[in-house]
Chain A
Amino acid sequence: MTVEAKQQAELVENAAGRKVPTFVNGRDQVPYQGVGKYKPTGRKAAPPVRSNAEFPKNGDKRVPDLETALRLCGLSDGMTISSHHHLREGDRVALPTLQTAAKLGVRDLRWFPSASFPCHAPVIDLMEQGIVHHIEGSMNGPLGDYCSHGKMRGYGVLRSHGGRWQAIQDGEVHVDIAVIAAPTADPFGNANGSHGPSACGSIGFALADSMYADKVIVVTDNLVPFPCIPWQVQGNNVDYVVEVPSIGDPAKIVSGTTQITRSPDRLRIAETVAQFLKVTGIMRNGFSFQAGAGGIALAFVDYLRKYMRAAGVKARFVRGGSTKYLVEMLQEGLTEYILDGQTFDLDAVKSIATDPRHVPTSPFTSYNYHGKGNFASMVDAVILGATEVDVNFNGNVVTHSDGRLLHGIGGWQNCLFSGCTILALPSFRDRIPVIVDEVTTLTGPGELIDVIVTERGIAINPRRQDLLDAVKGSGLPVKKIEELKEEVEKICGGKPAKPKLTDDPVAVVKWVDGTVLDTIWKQVGD
């Protein structure tokens, strides 16, 4: 398929009142219809049927280098190449893949990463040269600016981790060639991320691509004889295996130690969240929670486990982003399992490699909305961040208040389905209030966001009368969200001016079901 150039799109208002394009990167789009309203039809996509006869009987699928592999995969103009972000800022596979494609003389590729990092900024050069047409995946830093300023030929498409699985599975995005960076693999293509010099933990983000792409290349710097155990990626889906000296910089793949915030205000937010879980009884035997690896989230885990110890409470499972702190909980018996989506530090990587109770998961089991359920909705409480939240509890994680791309969605949207979704945020940053009248970019509908915890108090969504009842008489600083907003505006010296945006779409935000939730507009003055 050749991706068409960006054309003048018709804009319609979706169910959230946001203007969205109906045609994006050559495909018709369904505007967002509300939570759980869109009913998908049809059958899942599937890769072509293949035969054992095409593959060596001894299972050795090695080819000399990435260039050979791409050529054998039939790389041609307009194809979609996917990659994954489990090597994070240390990744040395995605960029060389695209640069090798450039050497082969192809043009107009669609790069479909599960997320991009600042180390991928040189893709800008490839877009300037016409080799990469556009990116569908999270963009921040220089790539985010490039897209925000309308320089990319296609639209940016931002999807949650679950939404990426859904898009592949539903045939919305057809991956021609998936390139999977594997910290350990065998010549057949079985691969895992938990072992080897570039170990990163789970490589679940690559699973959908391994199952649905036309062609699959595994790139490793730690080739072991068959069988590679565990085999999170199964060689039966893999076409070629490439051995390279290094897939990444271990120091940038995982952090040595993840650090709890030392900011007193953030610590206070974290402590308040933990108190909230205790007071409301969400923290009880057999419960579950998810918290990421941000400073507030780590501090929250530290407070919560103290409360759990004191109360003799044990969790059934905790959901990672795993870190040293979750690993310690597992080893101490405060949780029976870690269900791991991403593995952030050395302790967590070691744990996932050695402890069978520390389980690698994929966006299919945890996040995909077009399945027969997923476990995100079974998590009792999730603690997330946001750049903005509005008085209707809508959240924004993808843009600054001026509409510039800032973050990917990650698992954020998918997590909103938990039993109690808590946004833990400072009430203002650098004088800019975080609680606003209306979020700049809608990333999560307010009906799914239950609690906002700031250093100045807690706001509970009026839809959650049960939570409002549960905190009565607790002494927790519960306020109306409007009160919090006014308090912060007073400190900041009034409401911030609303930055002007153009009517020119540069990217769209997908909801978990593939419908279009909101639009990112080109920056003024370009």
Chain B
Amino acid sequence: MATTAEVTAKVGEAGRQGKDVRSDLFVRFEPREGPLEIDLQSRVGLYYGDNIREQAKQVLAALGVSSGRLTIVDEGALPFVIGARIEAAVRRAGSGNGKRWLPEAAPRPEHSAKDRLRRSRLYLPGAEPKYFINAGLHYPDAIILDLEDSVHPAEKDASRLLVRNALHAVDFGTTERMVRINQLPLGYQDLEEVIPERPDLVLIPKVEHPQQVLEVDRKISDIETREGIKQPIWLMPILESALGIENAFAIATASDRVCALTIGLEDYTADLGIVRTRTGEETQFARFRVVNAAKAAGLQAIDSVFSDVGDMEGLRAWGEKSRAMGFEGMGCIHPAQIPVIHESYAPSQAEIEKALKIVAAFNDARVRGLGVVSLGSKMIDPPVVNRAVKLVSRAKLMGLVK
């Protein structure tokens, strides 16, 4: 009969290796008696071999591991990735007792405003750390560290650690830091791991009922209280089904944390059993509904992604139409889409000039105590003034007006 030690001692593996793998590593941890052994092969061993060994010891110490055999095959991974992979291997081996190790912290940006610019949000697959480090350099309004559809079910646990470490250690610049969690209950584990690292916003997938938003809200509040987190953490529910679209307004108003509604068109069209097209006529109703519900709740409406990264003209046309419908931004899956999206959601120079004139006329009327605003021979109605004020303030945020 096997002893207890033999029964519990399973090997834990995490990460990837191979000549096509970049900025990642493979880790194997084998719990066993006796002194700690670290076996390292690294593409950058000549330059960082000692450094990696030292880090591995620190990580294991932080996880409370003092014996066993750790094998690392490193393909040039950065320290925040190395830490996450070792931790994943140790946890998968049933060791570590839920302790964590965090890399050196990056400077944190100011917390994000509820109504900040959200024209572009760049999806980063949570299992692909090589895309994290430079994501902020492409100046999307936000990055999304994705734990949901882009991550294989078997990699959810390890990706959670990568995303947590990235939130802690990667400098994303002025970009808003978003995380897309999994559906509950799996999403609870995501929240446990990432909320202490204070992402600016959490995307909740496949929302159909306001209850789903409330459950996430409560979990975040619990963790905030426990961790003493003061800065706001916003929510963006993703509506991806016919039912979700029907309940859009109730979802939008389920929690004060909700700052925007968005829509997932791949799942939505699948739910309807229709084909998604390049121009999107088939989803007009759902998208209008999202815009209207979001506006009724005083929130931003954010569009889906455009999936053909080679088709910039299609993207531009989509973005311009989307803006005309009332959306304020959309998702993107490649950095090359970012400038096109920003341009297509920007008001035209003519619109800006007209709006500036209206705002000037409004201010002038106010100063002179006039009840009616007029521009030339035309009287300007209050809603027109209101729209102009909004347009100018957005154009200012985009840097289009000094």
Whether a CB of chain B sits under 8 angstroms from the CB of A455 is yes
Q: What are the residues of chain A within 8 A of B49 when measuring CB–CB?
A: 497
- CB pair B137–A455 under 8 Å, yes or no, is yes
Q: What are the residues of chain A within 8 A of B46 when measuring CB–CB?
A: 401-402, 497, 499
- CB pair B137–A431 under 8 Å, yes or no, is no
Q: 0/1 per residue, A425-457, Cβ < 8 Å to B?
A: 000011110000000000000000000000110
Whether a CB of chain B sits under 8 angstroms from the CB of A486 is no
**Assembled-state Cα–Cα distance A499/B48 (Å):** 10
Q: What are the residues of chain A within 8 A of B134 when measuring CB–CB?
A: 264-265, 268, 455
**Assembled-state Cα–Cα distance A494/B47 (Å):** 10
Q: What are the residues of chain B within 8 A of A491 when measuring CB–CB?
A: 78, 133
- CB pair B76–A431 under 8 Å, yes or no, is yes
State the Cβ distance, A92 to closest chain B Cβ, in Å.
29
- CB pair A268–B78 under 8 Å, yes or no, is no
- CB pair B79–A493 under 8 Å, yes or no, is yes
Q: What are the residues of chain A within 8 A of B44 when measuring CB–CB?
A: 430-432, 496
**Assembled-state Cα–Cα distance A455/B136 (Å):** 11
Q: 0/1 per residue, A142-163, Cβ < 8 Å to B?
A: 0000000000000000000000
Whether a CB of chain B sits under 8 angstroms from the CB of A121 is no
- CB pair A492–B48 under 8 Å, yes or no, is yes
Q: What are the residues of chain B within 8 A of A458 when measuring CB–CB?
A: none
Q: Which residue of B lies closest to A269 (CB)?
A: B137
Q: What are the residues of chain B within 8 A of A492 when measuring CB–CB?
A: 48, 78
Whether a CB of chain A sits under 8 angstroms from the CB of B22 is yes
Q: What are the residues of chain A within 8 A of B76 when measuring CB–CB?
A: 429-432
Whether a CB of chain B sits under 8 angstroms from the CB of A219 is no
Q: Tell me the residues in window 50-86 of chain B with beta carbons closer than 8 Å to chain A beta carbons.
A: 50-51, 55, 75-79
Q: 0/1 per residue, B20-60, Cβ < 8 Å to A?
A: 00110000000000000000000110111111000100000
Which of A267, A402, A492 gathers the greatest number of chain B CB atoms within 10 Å? A492
Whether a CB of chain A sits under 8 angstroms from the CB of B94 is no
Q: What are the residues of chain B within 8 A of A402 when measuring CB–CB?
A: 46
- CB pair A493–B48 under 8 Å, yes or no, is yes
- CB pair A268–B51 under 8 Å, yes or no, is no
- CB pair B47–A264 under 8 Å, yes or no, is no
Q: What are the residues of chain A within 8 A of B22 when measuring CB–CB?
A: 430
Q: What are the residues of chain A within 8 A of B137 when measuring CB–CB?
A: 265, 268, 455-456
- CB pair A493–B51 under 8 Å, yes or no, is yes
Whether a CB of chain A sits under 8 angstroms from the CB of B16 is no
Whether a CB of chain A sits under 8 angstroms from the CB of B334 is yes
Q: Tell me the residues in window 298-343 of chain B with beta carbons closer than 8 Å to chain A beta carbons.
A: 334-336
- CB pair A431–B335 under 8 Å, yes or no, is no
- CB pair B51–A494 under 8 Å, yes or no, is yes
Q: 0/1 per residue, B130-143, Cβ < 8 Å to A?
A: 00011001100000
- CB pair B51–A430 under 8 Å, yes or no, is no
Which of A265, A430, A455 gathers the greatest number of chain B CB atoms within 10 Å? A430
**Assembled-state Cα–Cα distance A264/B46 (Å):** 28
- CB pair A431–B23 under 8 Å, yes or no, is yes
Q: What are the residues of chain A within 8 A of B335 when measuring CB–CB?
A: 264, 267-268
State the Cβ distance, A217 to closest chain B Cβ, in Å.
41
Q: What are the residues of chain B within 8 A of A431 when measuring CB–CB?
A: 23, 44, 47-48, 76-78
Q: Which residue of A lies closest to B131 (CB)?
A: A264
Q: 0/1 per residue, B116-142, Cβ < 8 Å to A?
A: 000000000000000001100110000
**Assembled-state Cα–Cα distance A304/B224 (Å):** 49
Out of A264, A430, A432, A496, name the residue touching B138 (CB < 8 Å). Answer: A264
- CB pair B336–A493 under 8 Å, yes or no, is no
Q: Tell me the residues in window 242-282 of chain A with beta carbons closer than 8 Å to chain B beta carbons.
A: 264-265, 267-268
Out of B47, B133, B334, name the residue touching A432 (CB < 8 Å). Answer: B47
Q: 0/1 per residue, A489-508, Cβ < 8 Å to B?
A: 00111101101000000000
**Assembled-state Cα–Cα distance A429/B43 (Å):** 11
Q: Which residue of B lies closest to A524 (CB)?
A: B46
Which of B49, B79, B134, B335 gathers the greatest number of chain A CB atoms within 10 Å? B134
Assuming the contacts A455-B134, A491-B78, asked whether A496 and B48 have C-beta atoms less than 8 A apart, the reply is yes
**Assembled-state Cα–Cα distance A402/B76 (Å):** 15
Q: What are the residues of chain A within 8 A of B133 when measuring CB–CB?
A: 491
Q: What are the residues of chain B within 8 A of A267 when measuring CB–CB?
A: 335-336
Q: Which residue of A lies closest to B335 (CB)?
A: A264
Q: What are the residues of chain A within 8 A of B55 when measuring CB–CB?
A: 493
State the Cβ distance, B323 to closest chain A Cβ, in Å.
23
Q: What are the residues of chain B within 8 A of A497 when measuring CB–CB?
A: 46-51
State the Cβ distance, A304 to closest chain B Cβ, in Å.
16
State the Cβ distance, A309 to closest chain B Cβ, in Å.
16
Q: Which residue of A lies closest to B76 (CB)?
A: A430
Q: Which residue of B lies closest to A494 (CB)?
A: B51
**Assembled-state Cα–Cα distance A429/B55 (Å):** 20
**Assembled-state Cα–Cα distance A70/B284 (Å):** 77
Q: Tell me the residues in window 476-496 of chain A with beta carbons closer than 8 Å to chain B beta carbons.
A: 491-494, 496
**Assembled-state Cα–Cα distance A455/B335 (Å):** 13
**Assembled-state Cα–Cα distance A455/B50 (Å):** 28
State the Cβ distance, A95 to closest chain B Cβ, in Å.
27
Q: Tell me the residues in window 197-216 of chain A with beta carbons closer than 8 Å to chain B beta carbons.
A: none
State the Cβ distance, A302 to closest chain B Cβ, in Å.
12
**Assembled-state Cα–Cα distance A432/B23 (Å):** 11
Q: Which residue of B lies closest to A401 (CB)?
A: B47
State the Cβ distance, A281 to closest chain B Cβ, in Å.
23
Q: What are the residues of chain A within 8 A of B51 when measuring CB–CB?
A: 493-494, 497
**Assembled-state Cα–Cα distance A430/B52 (Å):** 14
Q: Which residue of B lies closest to A475 (CB)?
A: B399
State the Cβ distance, A488 to closest chain B Cβ, in Å.
11
Out of B23, B47, B334, name the residue touching A496 (CB < 8 Å). Answer: B47
**Assembled-state Cα–Cα distance A304/B75 (Å):** 34
**Assembled-state Cα–Cα distance A265/B134 (Å):** 7
State the Cβ distance, A272 to closest chain B Cβ, in Å.
10
- CB pair A493–B78 under 8 Å, yes or no, is yes
Q: What are the residues of chain A within 8 A of B47 when measuring CB–CB?
A: 401, 431-432, 496-497, 499
Q: What are the residues of chain B within 8 A of A401 when measuring CB–CB?
A: 46-47
Q: What are the residues of chain B within 8 A of A268 when measuring CB–CB?
A: 134, 137-138, 335
Q: What are the residues of chain A within 8 A of B48 when measuring CB–CB?
A: 431, 492-494, 496-497
**Assembled-state Cα–Cα distance A431/B23 (Å):** 7
Q: What are the residues of chain B within 8 A of A496 when measuring CB–CB?
A: 44, 47-48
Q: What are the residues of chain B within 8 A of A429 when measuring CB–CB?
A: 76
State the Cβ distance, A68 to closest chain B Cβ, in Å.
45
Q: Tell me the residues in window 21-71 of chain A with beta carbons closer than 8 Å to chain B beta carbons.
A: none
Q: What are the residues of chain B within 8 A of A265 when measuring CB–CB?
A: 134, 137
**Assembled-state Cα–Cα distance A499/B49 (Å):** 11
State the Cβ distance, A504 to closest chain B Cβ, in Å.
18
Can you give 14 contacting A-B residue pairs, CB < 8 Å?
A264-B335, A268-B138, A402-B46, A431-B44, A432-B76, A455-B137, A493-B51, A493-B78, A494-B51, A496-B44, A496-B47, A497-B48, A497-B49, A497-B51
Ranked nearest first, the 10 interchain pairs of A and B with the lowest CB-CB distance are A430-B76, A496-B47, A264-B335, A493-B79, A431-B76, A431-B44, A265-B134, A499-B46, A497-B47, A402-B46
Which residues of A are at the interface with B, using a C-beta cutoff of 8 A? Answer: 264-265, 267-268, 401-402, 429-432, 455-456, 491-494, 496-497, 499
Given contacts A401-B46, A431-B76, A494-B48, 12 further A-B contacts (CB under 8 A): A264-B138, A265-B134, A267-B336, A268-B138, A430-B22, A430-B44, A432-B76, A455-B137, A493-B78, A494-B51, A497-B48, A497-B51
